[in-house]
Amino acid sequence: MRKTLIAAAIVAAGVAGYFALNQSSTSASSFTELDYVPADTALFSGQFTALDIVSYLKSLGMSPAQYNSDEMQQAMAALSEDGSPALKFAIALFQDYLTVLTSPETFVANTGIMAKTRSLSYLVGAAPVVRFEVSDALAFQAFFERAATQSGVVSEQRQLGEHSYQVYPLGDAMPGLELLVSIDRGWGTVVLHNTQLSAEHRAQSLAQSKPAQNLGNSQKLTEMSKKYQLHQDGIGFLSTEQLALAFTTTDGNQLAKDLQLTFTDGLPAALEVWHSDACRTDAAMLAKTWPGLVMDAKIAQQDNSGLHMSGTMLWPTESKIALEGMQSMQGFIPSSLAGGIHPSMFYLAMGTEISQLTPAISKMWAGMTDLTLSCEPLVAIQEQMKAQNPMMMLAMAGMAANGLQGASVTINGFSIDMNTGQPKAADALVTLSADNPQTLLANAKAMLPPLANITLPADGEDIAVADIFPPVAMLNLDVRLKLSGNHLLLYVGDKATAQAQVIAKEALKKNGMIAFGMDYQQFFAALGEMFVMSGQPMPAELESMLQSDMKIGMSVGVNEHGVVISTEMKLAD
């Protein structure tokens, strides 16, 4: 369980780091490198103002044990031992990258990437392209040469006009596969390419040739930003329109053309059906209804005292039925726990109006199953959906918790008595928000006999939980229960008491689905006490986490465009 908690926290840190290192700040309209990004790219992520990667890594304070554990080393060694040169090259590159991450002071020397850098990630057809601003060209090239030396892959220098670049052949992994590494105009470019692709394709992938239609001369980013109110600090997207064209045509975009090269004997029957007029029409309609994924980010602070940034990830839809259904499923999230930075050690809030769950999903399910489709594979999927209607299960859930609109847990702190293993102090809050808390408790009593003797306090009053549930008295904690309007509040400690008073005054509103937050330093300090009490040695990754002064917050909800995930991260040096 403890290892699971540590792993989950490290993953959360990695996700926050992904947002930090792949989105950032300044207008895309003045970013000239966008001229080299094809307008028909299916995937794009742009960082338009330099982010201080070195300061970020220092603030994160992660040790080699977190990035490169013994288990991972053993797994990598096993894969590399019998692997092909291409696999050994990938593993060596990955392990070198992990080592670099744990040594921020030598980041620039080991990678050549600027300490404060902008970056771009996108597809040129089927070729993934990643670009960074570099300050040391030799160090950037050496980063790849180290992996080549360890794996036995022999690089080759080639020319494209007057421009030279390195090629690392990886054909033993996939026929014709190559890794291209180039430096020009202060940018390092890394491309996974294939020898079957044209010279012009290679020139575009290496940012040596501008596509006629590119993100620099099109209005795509401008229109997207205006429609979804995106911050200009950083923008990214995944386009279902371009994916649909690639899947249903042979030449609808560059990705479609590239994919045809893999089918030298013609399209397999399973894919050929998608190239029918019916499937092209249906796929285009679905792509218009669900345009894909949109991302943005905003840096509020980036200086010697630390980093403070936020970001959003949006799944928009043009379906009025889907949008209304998802909005009606939202429930109540306390405003103080809305996915931002919070003074507590940990909080989790979930909002769902249970009474609306069945009608909302029923409406959306009907919208999908009644949709007029002609594409054979899509019609088959639709028929399977009709045969697996989930309404009965949802109706049972609605009966069990009818009226519930939200629940939350906030942990401000706790300490354990090392002699008894029992809590000696705690400060925490649990809330249930419902149309009628008394009715909710009555339903719970019918299902859980131990609750049968519990009587709620009068509205606005609080009582000692030990008086109505004697086992709580064994904890020697003054746990209180309060009923206030639509809220049932269970709390202990001064901070939780104050937090409960604030939430008690809030009116119910449909404002979210999930909210989560964590203070890493507080959380892992408390977890460290548990290791001390157990007598077990503290894991190295946990010791490192104690030095990470990071706070994160996340929320999931539905706005006027679709499902949106918002994140916030604050790091102190």
What is the mean predicted confidence (pLDDT) over 119-126? Answer: 97
Q: 193: part of which helix (H) or strand (E)?
A: strand 187-194
CA 140 to chain centre: 28
pLDDT of residue 529: 74
Closest CA to 231 of 301, 312, 303, 308: 312
98 to 103, 190, 427, 540: CA distances (angstroms): 9, 18, 38, 16
CA-to-CA distance for 504 and 520, rounded, in angstroms? 28
pLDDT of residue 61: 63
CA-to-CA distance for 370 and 548, rounded, in angstroms? 51
CA-to-CA distance for 481 and 462, rounded, in angstroms? 5
Q: What is the pLDDT of residues 173-215, one digit of tens each?
A: 889 999 999 999 999 999 999 999 999 999 999 999 999 999 9
What is the mean predicted confidence (pLDDT) over 388-402? Answer: 62
Task: Record the pTM.
Answer: 0.87
Retrieve residue 85's tokens.
Answer: 């040169």
What is the mean predicted confidence (pLDDT) over 412-437? Answer: 85
Please count the residues of the chain: 573
Q: Is the confidence at residue 301, as pLDDT, over 80? A: no
Q: What is the pLDDT of residues 223-267, one digit of tens each?
A: 999 999 998 878 999 999 999 999 999 999 999 999 998 887 778
Q: Which of 6-10, 393-397, 404-408, 492-496 has the lowest mean pLDDT?
A: 6-10
Q: Is the confidence at residue 368, as pLDDT, over 70? A: yes
